[in-house]
């Protein structure tokens, strides 16, 4: 005999259901980390305009629901963002509680001025750090990249950006050309792949001053030298290896790149490659997402990914750039800000960045998530190139305070070589011009 | 005698009344004075003060007195920036003035759909400079831009536009001309509308042809308006920054690096605020000098 549910039972079950969220929340608070500790507080976060920044902005509601902290998130274009945060830091009262830092540009400047708080004590504080955070999951290389010379880690490493080769598989197949493994092979391949009658060029790369230095440093990382300053922090940008890298830069940009490359930044290069007008492009791995976007790119599904070629020297590195998130020393909301960092750079978010092509996470665990990688829209070759690049990555810019001025001066010299100027003369002139700037900066450090 | 005493008493009373008036109403000046001090005088004094330091944001401050000015006048990069600024300004003033004057004369005549044509002509002026710059940047792309496609349609060879050190400044001037010729046209059109008709009737009776009427009546009467347009255009061209920065960032190399771009780099890319402040002071002096010259010209035009 079966009995129906009585009215009393139905009322009891309804009450239990209504009470469930509160009971679960209480249970969580008691049994696990207290994410609601700073409920009702408000923080301000400033990040760069990029697929990563936009993902974090879109996920803001998730953070607010998890913690009860209200978060204002500001997304500013990269270059303006770097300037804005420095001016605000220098004012002594920055308007933000968390800021994204380009480690290859701002790290030493921010570290020298001690504008950010040391993250390590926060990580060690079990009251403030979730057991799920798992700092050991962060790659050692990225942790080192975010650590200052004095041992302070004043930003939590978030993403790496490796320089790789993007190549147009269709064009390579049409000419039956193999993926190059040395810079010389790449130059020869670029010459063979060019088809001026269809305005198709073998290569496209950054020619605009400042932006172009990272392409030159990619060549330099394949020589015996591989650095731009020596152990005594003296400039070494006019050595035979540096000049060889300059000659390679000149050859690629002058001989096998589209006319007008002298003014190309990454966006012009991206457009040219996306339209199928260039067979190869050496640039940051973060551009994979737009290149594979079928709505915008004519080469979606035809993009090949490869490790940067070897040079004539003993070294083989790809240029590494990176970003981290820091909490200003002047912030009065360090606790809530640390909560935001834990959420933003959680295993789950870092995996999202990897599988959507938004960036290379600083954590290791996303790379071992075979299931998520298999489900990604990116080809396996992309992830293989990424892993291989991680093993040979090395800083693509010197770790100095006036790094933007370095890029400006050396970049102008490189740009002049595209117009035909002598590489050795230009690099010696630029080195002589920048040397006193660096010396003064080092004296102040 | 009595009348003298009465007059002096009246004068004293008037002086006292004025003094009381000034005393009572002096407070009304305070808000304006505070604003002027806060947004003009203080920033200026502070800029002068900062220019006397070797000061990098986040670094040490070192008193150098006139050191930054000495360095500036021996800095060849700054010298080239001044030369480029003057070249750019010259072209970006003269060409819109010529085209603006021609357009104003054309639109002053009555013809069908004149109102619509005027509206269309002034549309570029309404657009935001940064948006304009982004659109032009796409059009200038040597391989994918529409401008080279248009050239190819009429059998002309492609140009490198802003992607060549030789053509970058004339190309940037092209954007400036497209953007700001309508403003010159509007200013001069306003002047044309206010001109009296009597001199033209007299000239017609005396047998003057169209060119003579333009040369001897229109131009002299229009001169004050032309000078006003010239002053506005010169100041605008000198301070041009947004379009240049968005399109070229001062490149290729330093081929389009004007004083404003140089200043911006020093202040916000190199964070060399002491040196940048010295650039501001010198640039301000250059602008004041040019403005004074143009105002003096305006006074002379008025007098004649």
Is the pLDDT score of B302 beyond 70?
Answer: no
Give the alpha-carbon dihedral of A393, A398, A403, A406, to 10 degrees: -110
pLDDT, averaged across chain A: 90
Chain B contacts of A115, Cβ < 8 Å? 58
CA distance B168 to A413: 18
Is the pLDDT score of A445 beyond 70?
Answer: no
Q: What pLDDT was estimated at residue A21?
A: 46
Q: How far B263 CA sits from the closest chain A CA (Å)?
A: 13
Interior CA angle at B136 toward B130 and B140, to 5°? 145
Q: What pLDDT was estimated at residue B147?
A: 95
% pLDDT > 70, chain A:
93
The pLDDT tens digits for A76-114 are: 998 899 999 999 999 999 999 999 999 999 999 999 999
**Same fold flag, A42-160+322-383 and A161-319+395-444:** yes
Q: What pLDDT was estimated at residue B2?
A: 59
Residues 36-55 of B with CB under 8 A from A: none
User: Is residue B58, in this structure, part of any structural domain at all?
Assistant: no
Q: Do residues B149 and B90 both lie within one domain?
A: yes
B149: contact with A, CB 8 A cutoff: no
- What pairs with residue A75 in β-bridges? A47
Q: Which residue of B has its CA nearest to A210?
A: B253
Chain B contacts of A264, Cβ < 8 Å? 163
B71: contact with A, CB 8 A cutoff: no
Query: What is the mean pLDDT of the segment spanning B117-146?
Result: 92
Look at residues A270, A290, A303 and name the one whose alpha carbon lies nearest to residue A382. A303
Query: What is the mean pLDDT of the segment spanning A356-364?
Result: 86
Helix/strand/coil for B184: helix
Q: How far B58 CA sits from the closest chain A CA (Å)?
A: 5
Question: Of A46-60, A179-193, A348-362, which has the strongest mean pLDDT?
Answer: A179-193
Is the pLDDT score of A301 beyond 80?
Answer: yes
Cross-chain residue pair B252–A209, CB shorter than 8 Å: yes
| pTM of the predicted protein model | 0.85
Check: CB of residue A262 under 8 Å from CB of residue A418. Answer: yes
Choose between A5 and B81: higher pLDDT. Answer: B81
Q: Which of B144, B158, B269 sits opposite A271 (nearest CB)?
A: B144
- The residue range of the domain holding B8 is 2-50
CA distance A186 to A249: 12
Q: What pLDDT was estimated at residue A50?
A: 85
Query: How many C-beta neighbours within 10 Å does residue A55 have?
Result: 17
Query: What is the mean pLDDT of the segment spanning B135-147?
Result: 92
Q: Where are the domains of chain A?
A: 42-160+322-383, 161-319+395-444
Helix A240-255, helix A213-220: angle, nearest 10: 120
Q: What pLDDT was estimated at residue A32?
A: 75
Look at residues A276, A284, A164, A266 and name the one whose alpha carbon lies nearest to residue A205. A266
Q: Do residues B150 and B286 both lie within one domain?
A: yes
Q: Which residue of B has its CA nearest to A112?
A: B58
Write down the number of H helices and E strands in chain B.
15, 2
The dihedral through the CA atoms of A358, A360, A366, A371 has a sign that is: positive
Lowest average pLDDT, out of A419-423, B57-61, B261-265, goes to B57-61
Q: What pLDDT was estimated at residue A18?
A: 47
User: Is residue B290, in this structure, part of any structural domain at all?
Assistant: yes
Strand extents, DSSP E, A218-337: 280-284, 303-306, 318-326
User: Architecture of domain A42-160+322-383 in CATH?
Assistant: 3-Layer(aba) Sandwich (3.40)
Q: For chain B, how long is the longest CA-to-CA vector?
A: 97
Return left, alpha or beta for B65; rule: phi > 0 is left, psi -120 to 50 is alpha, else beta: left
Q: How far B164 CA sits from the closest chain A CA (Å)?
A: 6
Is the pLDDT score of A3 beyond 70?
Answer: no
Number of domains forming the structure of chain B = 2
Q: What pLDDT was estimated at residue B304?
A: 60
% pLDDT > 90, chain B:
68
Residues 161-190 of B with CB under 8 A from A: 161-165, 168
- What band does B78 get if pLDDT is binned at 50, 70 and 90? very high
B160: contact with A, CB 8 A cutoff: yes
Q: How far is CA A393 from the centre of its chain?
A: 12
Cross-chain residue pair B57–A90, CB shorter than 8 Å: yes
Q: Which of B56, B60, B163 sits opposite A260 (nearest CB)?
A: B163
User: Is residue B90, in this structure, part of any structural domain at all?
Assistant: yes
Q: ipTM score of the complex?
A: 0.82
The pLDDT tens digits for A16-43 are: 444 444 444 444 444 578 999 999 999 9
Q: What is the DSSP string of A30-53?
A: HHS--TTTTTT-EEEEEEESSHHH
Q: What pLDDT was estimated at residue A160?
A: 92
- What band does B3 get if pLDDT is binned at 50, 70 and 90? low
Q: Do residues B29 and B81 both lie within one domain?
A: no
Q: Do residues B226 and B115 both lie within one domain?
A: yes
Chain A contacts of B165, Cβ < 8 Å? 262, 419
Residues 226-255 of B with CB under 8 A from A: 248-254
How far CA A110 is from CA of A117, A176, A339, in Å, comes to 10, 49, 22
The pLDDT tens digits for A210-221 are: 999 999 999 999
A405: contact with B, CB 8 A cutoff: yes
* DSSP conformation class of A6: P
Q: Which residue of B has its CA nearest to A258?
A: B143
Q: Do residues B15 and B80 both lie within one domain?
A: no
Q: What pLDDT was estimated at residue A6?
A: 55
Q: Do residues B31 and B78 both lie within one domain?
A: no
Check: CB of residue A359 under 8 Å from CB of residue A282. Answer: no
Which structure tokens are listed for A35? 């994410």
Q: What pLDDT was estimated at residue B7?
A: 67
Q: Which residue of B has its CA nearest to A416?
A: B253
Q: What pLDDT was estimated at residue B290?
A: 86
The H or E element containing residue A142 is helix A140-146
Q: Which of A109, A268, A405 sits opposite B58 (nearest CB)?
A: A109
B56: contact with A, CB 8 A cutoff: yes
- What band does B116 get if pLDDT is binned at 50, 70 and 90? very high
Q: How far A279 CA sits from the closest chain B CA (Å)?
A: 15
CA distance A268 to B142: 10
CA distance A274 to A283: 13
Q: How far B303 CA sits from the closest chain A CA (Å)?
A: 49
User: Is residue B56, in this structure, part of any structural domain at all?
Assistant: no
- What pairs with residue A361 in β-bridges? A159
Chain B contacts of A415, Cβ < 8 Å? 251-253
Helix A403-418, helix A213-220: angle, nearest 10: 90
How far CA B132 is from CA of A267, B103, B123, B143, in Å, comes to 17, 21, 12, 20
Chain A contacts of B250, Cβ < 8 Å? 209
Cross-chain residue pair A87–B57, CB shorter than 8 Å: yes
Q: What pLDDT was estimated at residue A218?
A: 96
Query: How many C-beta neighbours within 10 Å does residue B3 have?
Result: 7
pLDDT, averaged across chain B: 90
- What band does A2 get if pLDDT is binned at 50, 70 and 90? very low
Lowest average pLDDT, out of A13-27, A151-165, A184-198, B225-239, goes to A13-27
- What pairs with residue A328 in β-bridges? A116
Report how far apart the first and last C-alpha atoms of chain A are (Å, whole number). Answer: 87
Q: Do residues B106 and B25 both lie within one domain?
A: no
Q: Do residues B294 and B217 both lie within one domain?
A: yes
Tell me chain A's radius of gyration from C-alpha atoms.
25
CA distance A270 to A253: 15
Query: What is the mean pLDDT of the segment spanning A241-251?
Result: 97
User: Is residue B13, in this structure, part of any structural domain at all?
Assistant: yes
Lowest average pLDDT, out of A21-35, A194-208, A287-301, goes to A21-35
Strand extents, DSSP E, chain B: 53-55, 61-63
Choose between A256 and A33: higher pLDDT. Answer: A256
Q: What pLDDT was estimated at residue A8?
A: 52
Q: What pLDDT was estimated at residue A286?
A: 85
CATH of A161-319+395-444, one of 1.10.10.60, 3.50.50.60, 3.40.50.1980, 3.40.190.10: 3.40.190.10
Q: Do residues B37 and B128 both lie within one domain?
A: no
Cross-chain residue pair B58–A268, CB shorter than 8 Å: no
The strand pair at B53-55 and B61-63 is best described as antiparallel
């Amino acid at each position: 005999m079966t009995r129906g549910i009585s009215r009393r039972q139905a009322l009891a079950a309804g009450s239990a259901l209504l009470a469930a969220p509160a009971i679960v929340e209480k249970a969580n608070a008691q049994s696990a980390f207290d994410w609601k500790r700073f409920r009702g507080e408000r923080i301000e976060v400033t990040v760069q305009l990029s697929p990563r920044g936009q993902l974090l902005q879109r996920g803001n509601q998730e953070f607010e629901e998890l913690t009860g902290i209200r978060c204002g998130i500001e997304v500013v274009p990269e270059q303006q963002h770097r300037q804005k945060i420095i001016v605000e830091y220098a004012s002594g009262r920055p308007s933000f509680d968390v800021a994204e830092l380009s480690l290859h540009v701002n790290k030493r400047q921010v570290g020298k001025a001690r504008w950010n708080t040391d993250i390590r004590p926060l990580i060690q504080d079990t009251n403030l750090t979730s057991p799920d955070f798992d700092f050991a999951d962060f790659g050692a290389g990225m942790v080192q990249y975010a650590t200052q010379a004095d041992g302070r880690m004043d930003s939590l490493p978030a993403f790496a950006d490796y320089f790789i080769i993007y190549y147009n598989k269709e064009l390579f197949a049409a000419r039956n050309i193999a993926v190059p493994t040395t810079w010389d092979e790449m130059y020869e391949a670029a010459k063979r792949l060019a088809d001026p009658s269809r305005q198709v060029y073998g290569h496209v790369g950054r020619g605009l001053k400042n932006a172009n230095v990272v392409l030159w440093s990619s060549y330099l990382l394949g020589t015996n030298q591989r650095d731009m300053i020596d152990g005594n922090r003296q400039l070494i940008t006019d050595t035979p290896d540096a000049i060889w890298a300059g000659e390679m830069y000149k050859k690629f940009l002058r001989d096998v790149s589209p006319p007008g490359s002298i003014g190309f930044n990454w966006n012009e290069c991206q457009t040219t490659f996306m339209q199928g007008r260039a067979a190869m492009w050496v640039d940051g791995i973060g551009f994979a997402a737009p290149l594979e976007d079928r709505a915008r790119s004519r080469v979606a599904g035809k993009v090949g990914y490869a490790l940067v070629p070897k040079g004539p020297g003993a070294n083989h590195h790809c240029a590494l750039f990176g970003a981290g998130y820091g909490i200003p020393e002047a912030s009065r909301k360090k606790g809530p800000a640390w909560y935001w960092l834990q959420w933003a750079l959680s295993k789950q978010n870092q995996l999202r960045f990897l599988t959507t092509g938004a960036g290379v996470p600083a954590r290791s665990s996303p790379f071992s998530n075979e299931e998520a990688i298999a489900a990604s829209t990116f080809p396996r070759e992309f992830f293989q190139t990424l892993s291989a690049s991680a093993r040979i990555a090395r800083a693509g810019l010197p770790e100095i305070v006036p790094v933007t001025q370095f890029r400006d001066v050396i970049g102008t010299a490189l740009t002049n070589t595209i117009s035909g100027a002598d590489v050795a003369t230009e690099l010696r002139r630029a080195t002589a011009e920048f040397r006193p700037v660096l010396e003064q900066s080092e004296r102040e450090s | 005698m009595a009348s003298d005493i009465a007059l002096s008493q009246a004068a004293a009373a008037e002086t006292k009344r004025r003094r009381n008036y000034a005393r009572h109403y002096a407070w009304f000046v305070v808000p304006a004075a505070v604003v002027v001090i806060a947004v003009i005088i203080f920033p200026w004094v502070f800029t002068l003060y900062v220019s006397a330091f070797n000061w990098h944001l986040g670094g040490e401050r070192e008193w150098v007195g006139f050191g930054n000015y000495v360095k500036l006048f021996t800095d060849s990069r700054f010298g080239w920036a001044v030369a480029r600024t003057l070249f750019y300004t010259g072209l970006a003033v003269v060409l819109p003035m010529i085209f603006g004057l021609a357009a104003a004369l054309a639109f002053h005549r009555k013809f069908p759909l004149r109102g619509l044509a005027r509206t269309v002509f002034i549309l570029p002026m309404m657009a935001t400079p940064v948006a304009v710059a982004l659109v032009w940047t796409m059009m200038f792309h040597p391989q994918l831009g529409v401008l080279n496609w248009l050239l190819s349609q009429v059998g002309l060879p492609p140009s490198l536009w802003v992607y060549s050190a030789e053509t970058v400044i004339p190309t940037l001037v092209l954007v400036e001309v497209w953007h700001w010729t309508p403003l010159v046209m509007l200013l001069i059109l306003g002047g044309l509308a206010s001109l009296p008709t009597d001199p033209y009737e007299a000239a017609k009776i005396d047998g003057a042809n169209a060119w003579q009427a333009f040369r001897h009546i229109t131009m002299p009467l229009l001169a004050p308006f032309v000078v006003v347009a010239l002053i506005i255009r010169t100041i605008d061209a000198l301070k041009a920054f947004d379009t240049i920065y968005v399109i070229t960032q001062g490149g290729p190399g330093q081929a389009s690096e004007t004083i404003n771009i140089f200043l911006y780099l020093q202040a916000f890319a190199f964070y060399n605020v002491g040196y940048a402040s010295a650039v501001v002071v010198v640039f301000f002096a250059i602008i004041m000098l040019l403005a004074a010259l143009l105002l003096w010209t305006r006074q002379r035009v008025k007098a004649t």
